[in-house]
Structure 1
Amino acid sequence: MTKQHSRTIIEVHILQTTAPGNLNRDDTGSPKSVIYGGAMRARVSSQAWKRPTREVFRELLDPSQLGVRTKRVVELLSKRILAIEPNMESVQAVNLAETVLTEGAGIKLAKPRKKKSGEDNQDEDALQESTYLLFMGNRQYDELARIAIDANAQEDAKAAIKKGKKHIKQIIADDRSIDVALFGRMVADATDLNVDASAQVAHAISVQEINPESDFFTAVDDAKQESDDESDSGAAMIGDIEFNAATFYRYANVDANRLNETLGDVSATAQAVGTFVKAFVSSMPQGKINTFAHGTLPELAVVNVRDSQAVNLVGAFERPVEPDYVQHATEALVRRERELETAYGIQPVKTWIVRVGEDTKAAEELAGEVSSLQEVVSSVESLVADRLSQE
């Protein structure tokens, strides 16, 4: 019989006001946007917030717990081989790396693509790359490096690697890297190496209607400006940058059950969930950040644990909120949560809130008390570990 609390889903709902900026650009350089509720909204894609979230992981976790997403798989693996066997010739290490990846793992490799000019890559000795970004754990690279070294000690290294193909694939398939487990891996050439993502991240949208603005700028030539015989003020370049400012609703969730299936360890799963919550809340896209210094922290973070299904509360903002944006967005978020609870009986198992300022006071209706982010992370980890241990 299925237990009532068989599912453990963690949701993160955030209201965050950013400074004027261009966090996430489209192909024309303009801030991304979307029409929602009949009104233009600022938008930041899920990919643009996943990347900085993963960057925060590096500050919170040991490299052995993380993966690397790259096409330069031959370079990485050959470096690991040479780190273990420094006396090996680099050419031999590269050949072994290519063989392990192609003959062992079944990953397609190719020379880097030609430049846009049509000229061949200037480096004729450029290492082969995977034909797509491959997301694989640091531990996997280390294990594959040892296999390559062991095979090199055999009379026919290539044959030894081919013979161990099943074992090599199993090493990659058993990837226990936290970021790979959370964000998933797709390998078109070898679908048996795919990892289903345990985390979902929504595109962030502004709670209010926005109108993009443009910043006209000039760049001054310092030497020209100091010359007395110049007739102008020294402007050497002019241009404009589009930007916007908004209060964003951000949302993500983690399926702790699926995450635990991938990681195979309750303690590691709880740590992964806590790390994701902390990293997602505190991360910030870096687009044009040197120009706008738009980095902020959320006014409000609501963390729910549900035992039914994940629920995005973006419908609270189908009608754009009016100033004061944070206050009215908080009230709309709370109202939406309560209405869904009444209509569908999906009250969270537990809710925590982290809030700043009086404008977010209405959120206390959801949790009763305010917590710090670190308190929330610790509590979420404990609750996840407890629930998973009872399954």
Structure 2
Amino acid sequence: MALPAPRTYVDVHILQTVPPANLNRDDQGNPKEAYFGGVRRSRVSSQAWKRATRTHFTERLPAQDLATRTRRIGGALAKRIAAMTDLDAEAASRLAGALLAPLKISAGKKEGDTAYLFFYGRRQLDAVAALVGDRATELVALDEEELTAEIKQLSVQKEFSTGHPMDVALFGRMVADIPALNVDAATQVAHALSTHAVELEFDYFTAVDDEQEKGEETGAGMIGTIGFNSATLYRYASVGLHQLVDNLTDQEAAVTAVEEFMTSFARSIPSGYGNSFAHRTLPSLVAVTVRSDQPVNLVSAFEEPVTGSTGIAAASASRLAHEHARAASCWGDTPDFTAVCHTFDTTGDTAKLLEHTFGEALSFPRLLGDLRAHLTDPLKQAAR
């Protein structure tokens, strides 16, 4: 019998410089901010970057291997049933409602909606629909009492409790009404925070009415403002490999999920006002540490805001390296694995400091390959 996976945390530290942008709006439509170290910082919420990461998954992975988060699970299930049977929409909707009824998910304000977003795997929903696929015509002919009795014998809750897709395993699922359907998240994502102080700025814009211009009229067809800022952001996330193994019940799949998360977390960016600012960039640094004690966020490196005229990103990278070294020295915690990918001049002081702290600079694919090799060996040992 395989032993539980050893406690293993994969910490991801990213520095990314973003030009004028409004990645993540507050209730006033301006970029989100936070006070840290006594000054105003640019902030991007963890929810926004998790959403961007999940969206990036869809660009690279088969749709059926991923999950959907929605209040409209009843409608989605009805479509699945209609697609695999000869039932019309009304009959399929009745069967879908009957299948979901035993779960006792609170109903939302709109008919057919649940009270909260439900995060389910697309293959899980297919499996639930398949429970009635062969008997659909027989079941819809039953009255409500008979149909309810038949549905109770089916393994609806089991189908939602097993075979979790990668994104549910990574980000977890909370179902207040049905604790048995909860999935503990394997991933923690911090709010991205600028390493330096920022000031909110406003873009005053006008739009010209093309037809008005033809008539030689003056004045703008539209006037408005958009809040923005620019920042070098420190981004941090931690993946508990042991929790991933538990959620996916497959060690190889768990390591692959770490790789997929790393790729999408590093390459994704929230899309707010993307057409107005074209703000997509790639990180200037991605550092990875693998630990067996606890996740360690290194944001304290920037409690004193970074300043200087020689480059905020390079100064931030140096701060990060120093903070990692100080934490390891003070607490006596030596990571099991470290690796770094960065874009700084390999002959400069910043690159030398990063190499001394995290190891030689690697390409991102090489970093992922080395990480996979490190994670796979301990898991194989645990399985013996």
TM-score, normalization by structure 1: 0.90
Tell me, in whole angstroms, the C-alpha distance in 1 between the residues paired with 2:60 and 2:221.
Answer: 44
RMSD: 1.6
Q: Which amino acid counterpart does residue 168 of structure 2 have in structure 1?
A: V
Tell me, in whole angstroms, the C-alpha distance in 1 between the residues paired with 2:97 and 2:262.
Answer: 37
User: Quick check: 1:301–1:353 contact (8 Å CA) kept in 2?
Assistant: yes
Aligned residues: 367
Question: Which ranges of 4 or more aligned residues in structure 1 deviate by more than 4 Å?
Answer: none
Match of 2:113 in 1: 129
The secondary structure found in structure 1 opposite 2:21 is coil
1:354 aligns with 2:351: no
Match of 1:38 in 2: 38
Deviation at 1:173, TM superposition (A): 1.3
Deviation at 1:88, TM superposition (A): 1.2
% identity of equivalent residues: 41
Q: Bigger shift: 127-136 or 34-43?
A: 127-136
The secondary structure found in structure 2 opposite 1:130 is coil
Deviation at 1:206, TM superposition (A): 0.3
The secondary structure found in structure 2 opposite 1:10 is strand
1:334 aligns with 2:321: yes
Match of 2:368 in 1: 377
Match of 1:109 in 2: 107
The secondary structure found in structure 2 opposite 1:241 is strand
2:248 to 244, 263, 268: 263
Mapping 1:17-28, distance limit 5 Å:
17-28=17-28
Q: Bigger shift: 200-209 or 301-310?
A: 301-310
User: Quick check: 1:22–1:242 contact (8 Å CA) kept in 2?
Assistant: yes
Deviation at 1:150, TM superposition (A): 4.3
Tell me, in whole angstroms, the C-alpha distance in 1 between the residues paired with 2:62 and 2:369.
Answer: 18
1:211 to 188, 195, 199: 199
Q: Bigger shift: 316-325 or 368-377?
A: 368-377
Q: Which amino acid counterpart does residue 133 of structure 2 have in structure 1?
A: I
1:227 to 206, 215, 238: 215
Q: Which amino acid counterpart does residue 298 of structure 1 have in structure 2?
A: P
User: Quick check: 1:151–1:158 contact (8 Å CA) kept in 2?
Assistant: no
For structure 1, the 5+ residue unaligned runs are 113-126
Tell me, in whole angstroms, the C-alpha distance in 2 between the residues paired with 1:32 and 1:110.
Answer: 29
The secondary structure found in structure 1 opposite 2:230 is coil
TM-score, normalization by structure 2: 0.92
Deviation at 1:151, TM superposition (A): 5.0
Tell me, in whole angstroms, the C-alpha distance in 2 between the residues paired with 1:79 and 1:50.
Answer: 28
Deviation at 1:370, TM superposition (A): 1.4
For structure 2, the 5+ residue unaligned runs are none
1:162 to 124, 144, 152: 152
Tell me, in whole angstroms, the C-alpha distance in 2 between the residues paired with 1:94 and 1:242.
Answer: 45
Q: Bigger shift: 253-262 or 52-61?
A: 52-61
Tell me, in whole angstroms, the C-alpha distance in 2 between the residues paired with 1:315 and 1:148.
Answer: 55
Match of 1:120 in 2: none
1:367 to 343, 358, 366: 358
